[in-house]
Amino acid sequence: MPRPTGFFGRTLRRVFAVAAPRRATTGEVDFVGAGPGGAELLTLGALRALEAADVVIHDRLVSAEVLALCPARVERISAGKKGFGPSVAQGDINEMITDRALRGARVVRLKSGDPTVFGRLDEEIDACDAAGVAWRIVPGITAASAGAAAIGQSLTRRARNSSVRMITGHDMAGFAEHDWRALARAGELAAIYMGTRSARFVQGRLMMHGAAPDTAVTLIENASRSDQRIIATRLADLADTVEGTVFSGPVLTFYGLCPRDAVAARMDTPGKKEAAS
Q: Does 76 bind its own copies (CB under 8 A)?
A: no
Nearest CA-CA partner of 124 in 135, 138, 113? 135
Q: Which stretch binds its own copies (CB under 8 A): 79-87, 101-109, 240-248, 260-268?
A: 260-268
Report the alpha-carbon distance of residue 260 to residue 146 in Å, rounded: 14
Q: What is the footprint of its own copies within residues 93-122 (CB under 8 A)?
A: 114-122
Q: Is 152 in the site for its own copies (CB under 8 A)?
A: yes
- Strands 134-138 and 190-193 turn out to be unpaired
Contact residue for its own copies among 112, 145, 198, 253 (CB under 8 A): 145
Residue 202-241 contact track with its own copies, rule CB under 8 A, x = bound: ----------------------x-x---------------
* Contact positions with its own copies (CB under 8 A) in 6-35: 6-9, 11-12, 14-15, 18-19, 33, 35
Q: Is 125 helix (H, G, I), strand (E, B) or coil?
A: helix
**What's the per-residue H, E or C state across 101-116?**
HHCCCEEEEEECECCC
By beta-carbon proximity to its own copies, the closer residue of 154 and 245 is: 154
When asked if residue 269 is in the footprint of its own copies (CB under 8 A), the reply is no
Integer Cα distance of 183 and 247 in angstroms: 26
If one counts every other C-beta atom within 10 angstroms of the C-beta of residue 175, the result is: 17
The one catalytic residue in 30, 54, 81, 214 is 81
Residue 64 burial (10 A CB sphere; 0-12, 13-18, 19+): exposed
Active site residue 81: yes
Site for its own copies in 124-143 (CB under 8 A): 125, 129, 135-142
